[in-house]
């Protein structure tokens, strides 16, 4: 740029010198004047050229300074932008790190809470299962105890029933033996009365019918395997009546070969046979 300005100033000075030479002519004075004018023009041109160079240099310096300042500003802006971006990135990283740490802490807390809940649930389940097992064991023990008690009660009741049955059987056997022995004695007395002629045929038939009724009554009483006190007393009463009737039949005035009037006198005396069994 400075070279262009210098060439322009030189051209302008040469042109002015030519014009002056043409105007003043070619005389010695004119030549001198022309030379002086040319010299002045040259000096002026040089001054202008220096001034122009200075201005150009100043302008160039200013432009350079402005450009440098702009470049510096741009570099500073870029640097500041990069720094700001770095800071922002660092802040974002720190923020992300803090957020990640918070998230990790929260996840760890949630995981710990879930783990604690699982542990507590498992402990509760184990406790409940242990309690249920204990209750089941206690129920089983109580049930076993009750069953054992019931078995013992049933066994005791069975034994008592067996003892009672045996006692009843022995009692029935004793009663039957006593009844049979008394019946055997009464039958022998009847046979003796028939053989000795103390009993008529009708009296023997009635007394034997009494013995058959006594036998049927005994079978009916002992059919259930037990003979009560009332039944035993009834059998004793019936056997006692039968014994009394045998005695009366044998000691009345009727016998085989007696006269009819004697038999009628016996009946008229009031010794009449009565049937009482109930």
Please give the span between the terminal C-alpha atoms of the chain, in angstroms, as a whole number.
173
- Residue 31: CB atoms within 10 Å: 14
Domain stops at, among 93, 116, 137: 93
Report which DSSP code applies to 270. Answer: T
- Decide: 41 and 17 in contact? Cβ < 8 Å: yes
Please check whether residue 66 lies inside any domain of the structure.
Answer: yes
Query: CA–CA separation, 38 vs 32, rounded Å?
Result: 9
- Asked if the structure places residue 125 within a domain, the reply is no
What is the model's pLDDT at position 12? 66
Angle formed at CA 262 by CA 258 and CA 263, multiple of 5 degrees = 85
Percent of residues, the chain, with pLDDT higher than 70? 79
105 in any annotated domain: no
DSSP states along 189-237: HHHHHHHHT-S-HHHHHHHHHHHHHHHHHHHHHGGGS---HHHHHHHHH
pLDDT tens column, 151-184? 898 889 888 988 888 888 888 888 889 999 999 9
The whole-number pLDDT of residue 264 equals: 45
Split into its structural domains, the chain has a count of 2
Dihedral sign, CA of 64, 66, 69, 73? Answer: negative
Q: What is the pTM of this model?
A: 0.41
- What is the distance between the alpha carbons of residues 191 and 204, in angstroms, rounded to a whole number? 8
Does the residue 133 lie in any domain?
Answer: no
Alpha-carbon gap, residue 133 to 148, rounded angstroms: 22
- pLDDT for 275 equals 41
Q: What torsion do the CA atoms of 111, 115, 116, 118 make, to the nearest 10 degrees?
A: 140
Residue-range definition of the domain harbouring residue 16: 2-93
Choose the weakest-confidence range: 30-34, 211-215, 218-222: 30-34
Summarize the confidence of residues 132-159 as an average pLDDT. 91
* Domain-located, residue 74: yes
Q: H-helix or E-strand containing 54? A: helix 28-196
**Cα 17 to the center of its chain, rounded Å:** 124
- Domain boundary at 29, 63, 93, which? 93
Cα–Cα distance for residue pair 133/137, rounded to 1 Å:
6
Neighbours of 259 (CB within 10 A): 9
pLDDT at 7: 60
- pLDDT of 83 above 60: yes
Tokens representing 102 are: 């918070």
Q: Which of 52, 73, 93 is the last residue of a domain?
A: 93
- Residue 37 near residue 17, CB atoms below 8 Å: yes
Residue 182 lies in a domain: no
Asked, for residue 172, whether it belongs to a domain, the answer is no
What is the number of other CB atoms lying within 10 angstroms of the CB of residue 38? 19
């Amino acid at each position: 740029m400075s070279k262009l300005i210098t060439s322009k100033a030189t051209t302008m000075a040469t042109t002015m010198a030519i014009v002056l030479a043409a105007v003043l002519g070619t005389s010695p004075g004119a030549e001198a004047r022309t030379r002086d004018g040319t010299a002045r023009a040259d000096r002026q041109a040089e001054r202008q050229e220096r001034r122009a160079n200075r201005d150009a240099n100043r302008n160039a310096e200013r432009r350079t300074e402005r450009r440098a300042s702009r470049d510096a500003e741009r570099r500073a802006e870029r640097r500041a932008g990069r720094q700001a971006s770095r800071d922002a990135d660092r802040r974002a990283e720190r923020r992300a790190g803090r957020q990640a740490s918070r998230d990790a802490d929260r996840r760890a807390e949630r995981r710990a809470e879930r783990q604690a809940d699982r542990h507590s649930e498992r402990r509760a389940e184990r406790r409940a299962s242990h309690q249920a097992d204990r209750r089941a064991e206690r129920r089983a023990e109580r049930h076993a105890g009750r069953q054992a008690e019931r078995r013992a009660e049933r066994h005791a009741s069975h034994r008592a029933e067996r003892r009672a049955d045996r006692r009843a059987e022995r009692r029935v056997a004793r009663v039957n033996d006593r009844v049979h022995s008394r019946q055997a004695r009464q039958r022998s007395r009847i046979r003796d009365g028939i053989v000795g002629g103390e009993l008529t045929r009708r009296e023997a038939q009635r007394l034997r019918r009494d013995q058959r009724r006594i036998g049927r009554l005994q079978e009916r009483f002992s059919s259930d395997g037990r003979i009560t006190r009332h039944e035993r007393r009834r059998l004793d009463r019936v056997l006692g009546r039968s014994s009394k009737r045998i005695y009366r039949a044998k000691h009345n005035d009727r016998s085989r070969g007696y006269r009819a009037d004697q038999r009628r006198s016996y009946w008229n005396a009031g010794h009449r046979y009565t049937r009482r069994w109930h």
